[in-house]
Structure 1
Amino acid sequence: MAAMFNILHVLLLCLSLNILSHALSTKRNIYRKVVDMVSPGDEYLSENGVRSFFSMLEKRVQCPDVPCEKCISVEDVSQLVGDYTQDGGLHMEGYFKVASGWCFYLSSPQEACMAIKNKEWERETNQFVQSITAKDIQGDGFSAGTGGLDRLLHKIEKRYRSTEGGQSCLTGTDILEKSNVSLSNTTLHGIDTVLGDVLYHVLRGDCFASQALPEEEYFLDYLFQGLGSDNMTEQDLEALMAVLKLGGGELQEDGHEHDLGPRQDQHGRGGSGQERNSSWDETCFSAHELMEIHQVNGSTISRTQFTRLSPALVQQLLSGACGIKTNPAHPNDHLSKLEMYVYASIANLVICLMAMLGIVMLLCTSCTALFQVSIQLCISLAVGSLTGDAVLHLLPAFLGLHSHGHESDTDQGHTYKLLVVLAGIYYFFLMESVFSIMTHKDSHSHDSEGSDPHHCDHGKVIQMYQNDKMGKQSTSQADLIEENEKAEPSSNSRTREQRLIPYMITIGDGVHNFADGLALGAAFSVSWRSGLATSLAVLCHELPHELGDFAFLLHCGMSVKKALLLNFGSALTSFIGLYIGLSVSTDPAAQEWIAAVAAGLFLYVGLADMLPSMIHSNRQNPWLTFFLQNLGLLAGWGILLLLSLYEDHIVV
Structure 2
Amino acid sequence: MSNLSRRVLNSTIFVIAVSILFTPVASEKGSNFLQDIFRFYGENDTLSYENLKNMLDLLGTRRPSHVVEGENQFVHSKCLSAAEILSQYGLGNYSQVSAEHLESICPALLNHAVLPECPRTVPVTIQAIDYHVWGYGVLAVTIINLSSLLGLALIPFTKKPYFPKVLTYFIGLAIGTLFSNAVLQLIPEALGFDPKADNYVLKAIGIFGGFYLLFFTEKVLKMVLKTEFEHGHSHFSPGEQSRVNSLQNGDIGGKGEVIAVTSFSNIGADPPASVNSDPTIEQEVHVSRGTCHWLRGERISNIKTVAWMISLSDALHNFIDGLAIGASFTVSVLTGFSTSIAIVCEEFPHELGDFVILLNAGMSIPQAVFFNLLSAMSCYIGLVLGILVGSTFAPNVIFALAGGMFLYIALGDMFPEMNSILSEQERTTRNSVIFFLIQNAGLLTGFSIILLITMFAGDINLG
Asked if TM exceeds 0.5, the reply is yes
Deviations 1:548-598 (A, max 9, x none): 100111122321111111111111111111111112221242x11111111
Greater RCO, CA 8 A, separation 6+ = 2
Structure 1 residue 437: Cα displacement: 4.3
Relative to 1, partners in 2 of residues 1:412 and 1:632: Cα closer, same or farther, differing over 3 Å?
Answer: farther
Residue number among 365, 388, 400 corresponding to 1:596 in the alignment: 400
The AA in structure 2 aligned to 1:273 is L
Asked whether the 8 Å contact 2:170–2:345 carries over to 1, the reply is yes
How far apart are the structure 2 equivalents of 1:223 and 1:622?
81
1:278 matches 2:64: yes
The corresponding residue for 2:141 is: 348
Asked whether the 8 Å contact 1:516–1:598 carries over to 2, the reply is yes
Structure 1 residue 387: Cα displacement: 0.9
Asked whether the 8 Å contact 1:379–1:541 carries over to 2, the reply is yes
Structure 1 residue 647: Cα displacement: 1.2
The corresponding residue for 2:151 is: 358
The AA in structure 1 aligned to 2:247 is H
Deviations 1:212-245 (A, max 9, x none): xxx944246469999x9779xxxxxxxxxxxxxx
The corresponding residue for 1:637 is: 447
Q: SS in structure 2 opposite 1:368?
A: coil
Relative to 1, partners in 2 of residues 1:558 and 1:433: Cα closer, same or farther, differing over 3 Å?
Answer: farther
Q: SS in structure 1 opposite 2:59?
A: coil
How far apart are the structure 2 equivalents of 1:431 and 1:457?
29
The AA in structure 1 aligned to 2:384 is Y
Relative to 1, partners in 2 of residues 1:397 and 1:221: Cα closer, same or farther, differing over 3 Å?
Answer: farther
The corresponding residue for 2:182 is: 390
Residue number among 139, 161, 170 corresponding to 1:378 in the alignment: 170
1:526 matches 2:331: yes
How far apart are the structure 2 equivalents of 1:415 and 1:624?
31
The AA in structure 1 aligned to 2:211 is I
Asked whether the 8 Å contact 1:384–1:633 carries over to 2, the reply is yes
The AA in structure 2 aligned to 1:544 is P
Asked whether the 8 Å contact 2:304–2:362 carries over to 1, the reply is no
The corresponding residue for 2:106 is: none
Aligned ranges for residues 98-117 of structure 1 at < 5 Å?
A: none
The corresponding residue for 1:512 is: 317
Aligned ranges for residues 558-637 of structure 1 at < 5 Å?
A: 558-589=363-394, 591-617=395-421, 618-620=424-426, 621-637=431-447
Q: SS in structure 2 opposite 1:382?
A: helix
1:651 matches 2:461: yes
Q: SS in structure 2 opposite 1:642?
A: helix
Residue number among 422, 428, 434 corresponding to 2:220 in the alignment: 434
How far apart are the structure 2 equivalents of 1:521 and 1:556?
33
Deviations 1:145-203 (A, max 9, x none): xxxxxxxxxxxxxxxxxxxxxxxxxxxxxxxxxxxxxxxxxxxxxxxxxxxxxxxxxxx
How far apart are the structure 2 equivalents of 1:225 and 1:468?
89
Residue number among 176, 180, 201 corresponding to 1:415 in the alignment: 201
Q: SS in structure 2 opposite 1:346?
A: helix
How far apart are the structure 1 equivalents of 2:144 and 2:305?
28
Q: How many equivalent residue pairs?
A: 329
Q: SS in structure 2 opposite 1:369?
A: coil
Deviations 1:304-363 (A, max 9, x none): xxxxxxxxxxx9xx99xxxxxxxxxxxxxx99432211110011101111221221121x
The corresponding residue for 1:447 is: 248
Deviations 1:259-278 (A, max 9, x none): xxxxxx987679x8346443
How far apart are the structure 2 equivalents of 1:224 and 1:619?
86
Q: SS in structure 1 opposite 2:192?
A: coil
How far apart are the structure 1 equivalents of 2:186 and 2:312?
26
Q: SS in structure 1 opposite 2:199?
A: helix
The AA in structure 2 aligned to 1:607 is L
Asked whether the 8 Å contact 1:224–1:230 carries over to 2, the reply is no
Asked whether the 8 Å contact 2:56–2:62 carries over to 1, the reply is no
Deviations 1:508-567 (A, max 9, x none): 111111111111111111110110110111101011110010011112232111111111
The AA in structure 1 aligned to 2:248 is D
How far apart are the structure 1 equivalents of 2:11 and 2:223?
73
1:502 matches 2:312: no
Aligned ranges for residues 460-479 of structure 1 at < 5 Å?
A: 460-462=265-267, 466-468=268-270
The corresponding residue for 1:176 is: none
Structure 1 residue 622: Cα displacement: 2.1
Structure 1 residue 430: Cα displacement: 2.1
Relative to 1, partners in 2 of residues 1:218 and 1:266: Cα closer, same or farther, differing over 3 Å?
Answer: farther
- Structure 1: gaps (5+ residues): 1-214, 232-264, 283-314, 320-333, 473-478, 489-494
How far apart are the structure 2 equivalents of 1:551 and 1:513?
18
Relative to 1, partners in 2 of residues 1:361 and 1:435: Cα closer, same or farther, differing over 3 Å?
Answer: same
Relative to 1, partners in 2 of residues 1:365 and 1:276: Cα closer, same or farther, differing over 3 Å?
Answer: same
The AA in structure 2 aligned to 1:625 is F
Aligned ranges for residues 331-346 of structure 1 at < 5 Å?
A: 336-346=129-139
Sequence identity of aligned pairs in percent?
Answer: 30
Relative to 1, partners in 2 of residues 1:370 and 1:223: Cα closer, same or farther, differing over 3 Å?
Answer: farther
How far apart are the structure 1 equivalents of 2:251 and 2:381?
35
Deviations 1:4-34 (A, max 9, x none): xxxxxxxxxxxxxxxxxxxxxxxxxxxxxxx
The AA in structure 1 aligned to 2:360 is H
Asked whether the 8 Å contact 1:335–1:525 carries over to 2, the reply is no
Asked whether the 8 Å contact 2:128–2:391 carries over to 1, the reply is no
- Structure 2: gaps (5+ residues): 18-51, 69-114, 119-126, 231-240, 253-257, 283-299
Residue number among 349, 366, 373 corresponding to 1:544 in the alignment: 349
**For the pair shown, which has the larger CA radius of gyration, 1 or 2?**
1
| RMSD, matched Cα | 4.2
How far apart are the structure 2 equivalents of 1:431 and 1:628?
16
